[in-house]
Structure 1
């Protein structure tokens, strides 16, 4: 996540509480608008005690 924060000139951060009690935190680089979406992002999934479960960095592809 530090790489995206350092690299990104305009980052947007969003957090969401998950059904299992954990959290999803997403950092989005606002410079990369494409197809009505912000595809370049970093995501961190944490449990309810804020322990890291998963992290992703890169281009988000629509399914």
Structure 2
């Protein structure tokens, strides 16, 4: 009799980013970096979006470019 195959558990313990979504202007779980705004002098900035806003607005996360 064959042994049952082992299915790995769901990745519930995988860290997820929690922060501000610049598209819907609210906090959200699982945000992704969308763009880095660089300036010649002084600090730049970053723009994040949640999964729902990424899908609705057809955004491409910075790491996936």
Task: Indicate the structure (1 or 2) with the bigger Cα radius of gyration.
Answer: 2
State the TM-score, normalizing by the size of structure 2. Answer: 0.32
More strand by share: 1
More helix by share: 2
